A = this chain, B = another copy of it.
């Protein structure tokens, strides 16, 4: 059975302007690979209502799971929750369960639970909440879309909550072999290896080190014995 498929949607002008370097994509990619879920596509869009709605609809239709990051804070540019509700024609308002979580939290901390913070309790009617152990304001899951915060520490905590109960396939294993030759010298033999092991994903990642060329060859498959066999064959090619 093939692995479940997934896509990620990163929302935020700060990534597209180059001000912030996104860290969440790399984290999610690693977590999904461990879980045996295949991340097939990532999109980054700006804080724009039409762009977010169109991307949510396209990715939700195309993949089994969608993970979003960004745009669920208290400020005027945080429009993700409303856009995801609109993408599915769901209603959205301050919801009692999220409102209580936030109200209790700010009361305990002696901080003002004002109108801006109350915005973070806006949750689509049909969604289930995603726990946020870092700063309480919850994410949510609506249909197959998991909506999470952009702040990396919060995003990581939410990913852990969401992935724990989720079924995956066989985790993809990888082995890496470093070859100290130019990629152009490696490519021919590598093509033959690819024909010999059609089920194994073979990637070649070139580097330059002290003016010399080399490449890391990465073999990926869920079957460890098959991977070992291919690795031995690869090493024999360049012995």
Contact = CB atoms under 8 A, between A and B. Distances in A.
A188 interface: yes
Interface string A184-201: 111110110010000001
A230 to B, nearest CB: 14
Given A43-B44, A74-B187, 12 more contacts: A14-B205, A15-B29, A16-B42, A17-B220, A19-B205, A21-B26, A22-B26, A40-B46, A41-B46, A42-B44, A76-B191, A115-B188
10 contacts: A14-B205, A22-B26, A25-B44, A41-B44, A75-B187, A76-B202, A114-B188, A116-B184, A116-B187, A117-B184
A111 interface: yes
A172 interface: yes
For A14, A187, A207, the residue with the greatest tally of chain B CB atoms inside 10 Å of its CB is A187
Interface of A: 10, 13-22, 25-33, 38-47, 51, 73-77, 106, 111-112, 114-117, 119-120, 135, 151, 153, 172, 174, 182-188, 190-191, 194, 201-208, 218, 220
Contact of A43 (B19, B43, B205): B43
A interface: dominant SS: mixed
Contacts of A174: 17, 19
A50 to B, nearest CB: 11
Nearest to A215: B75
Contacts of A28: 18
Chain multiplicity (copies): 2
Contacts of A39: 16-18
B16 A40 contact: yes
A47 B13 CA distance: 27
Contact of A119 (B73, B153, B187): B187
Nearest to A42: B44
A26 B33 contact: no
A143 B202 CA distance: 31
A115 B19 CA distance: 42
Contacts of A203: 13-14, 19, 47, 77
A208 B20 contact: no
B29 A16 contact: yes
Contacts of A116: 183-188, 191
